[in-house]
Amino acid sequence: MKFLSFRIDTRESYGLLVEDGVIDLGRRLGSSVPDLRALLAASASGRAAEIAAHASADYALAQVRLLKPIPNPGTFICVGVNYRDRNEEYKDGSDLPLYPSLFFRTPGSLVAHGEPIVRPPESDQLDYEGEIALIIGRTARRIPEARAMEFVAGFSCVNEGTIRDWLRHGKFNVTPGKNFERSGAFGPWLVTPDEVGESALSVTTRVNGERRQHDSTERLMFSFPNLIKYISTFCELHPGDVIATGTPTGAGARFDPPRYLRPGDVVEVEVPRVGLLRNEVIAE
């Protein structure tokens, strides 16, 4: 199933994407399940499937404005340096990491599919980072690696946009460069694991149609189950929390000279069997 959050006229809701459009689950389930995060917390995806089996679409996809799949995630955790060649991009002679590098993003630093990504006036070093997102479906702590994928409600795409020259203002502090308002994107929807399947996923990033990044999850240093195990050791995970699992080589900062995003550029992050996240860049 493909779950999405959307706005129709002045009303925000959520629903299921079906062949001929969008089924409005928010209107059918009412205030007891007000949004997609609440649907996950209530373990109500079965109710959604029953509705989809008997309902026709309420709107064409073109009629609605997509919101972020989880507009209000409780925790948004990002993983750095996770594809095998990424460590070499730093050219610092360091060994491969023993543990994942982690940081947090604020919900306001990400926009939805189709919304503009914003380059701030403080920097011209806005960069792209295409990633696969895991969306958590159940509350848990210290999740065993062998059971980790049982706690994943679905997958989505992320452009983990970065303001490069704001990453090193402090000695060990990437937070400012990763959290400028509306500097990244998340979407277009949540795809459930049964639809994605168990085979490896690939992620591709294009800028103005030119492929800049491409890799497969077969080459992750820290697998999805390993990340969930590690993160849940120190952080209780809840329905609607998001883990962005790392970006491949080929970000704009790694070119010589760097190729940062400019107003008018269009960035696409595509994960087959999951979706395509597309955003244009504007200046603030």
- In this predicted model, what pLDDT tens digit does every residue of 235-274 receive, in sequence order? 999 999 999 999 999 999 999 999 999 999 999 999 999 9
pLDDT in tens, 198-219: 999 999 999 999 999 999 999 9
Residue 216 in tokens: 């497969």
Pinpoint the residues of the chain covered by CATH 3.90.850.10.
76-283
Q: Is the pLDDT of residue 91 over 80?
A: no
pLDDT in tens, 5-30: 999 999 999 999 999 899 999 999 99
β-bridge mates for residue 22, sequence order: 17, 59
**Would you state the pLDDT for residue 85?**
78
Q: What angle do CA 26, 69, 52 make, to 5 degrees?
A: 45
**Would you state the pLDDT for residue 87?**
60
When pLDDT is averaged across residues 96-118 and rounded to a whole number, the result is 96
Q: Is the pLDDT of residue 41 over 80?
A: yes
Query: Phi and psi (nearest 5°) for 75?
Result: -135, 130
Q: What is the largest CA-CA distance in the chain?
A: 59
**Would you state the pLDDT for residue 170?**
87
When pLDDT is averaged across residues 165-186 and rounded to a whole number, the result is 94
Q: Is the pLDDT of residue 88 over 80?
A: no
Report d(CA 28, CA 54) in Å as an integer. Answer: 12
**Would you state the pLDDT for residue 171?**
81
Q: Is the pLDDT of residue 90 over 70?
A: no
pTM: predicted TM-score of the whole model, two decimal places: 0.96
Give per-residue burial for 151-186: e unless 16+ CB within 10 Å, then b: bbbbbbbbbbbbbbebbeeeeeebeebbbbebbbbb
β-bridge mates for residue 206, sequence order: 211, 268
pLDDT in tens, 177-203: 999 999 999 999 999 999 999 999 999
Q: Is the pLDDT of residue 169 over 70?
A: yes
Q: What mean pLDDT, rounded, does the chain reach?
A: 95
Confidence of residue 93 (pLDDT cuts 50, 70, 90): low
**Would you state the pLDDT for residue 84?**
85
Q: Is the pLDDT of residue 147 over 70?
A: yes
Q: Are 1 and 9 in contact (CB under 8 A)?
A: no
Query: Phi and psi (nearest 5°) for 123?
Result: -160, 150
**Would you state the pLDDT for residue 95?**
75
Of the candidate CATH numbers 3.40.1190.20, 3.90.850.10, 1.25.40.10, 3.30.300.30, the domain formed by 76-283 belongs to 3.90.850.10
Report d(CA 236, CA 232) in Å as an integer. Answer: 5
**Would you state the pLDDT for residue 86?**
67
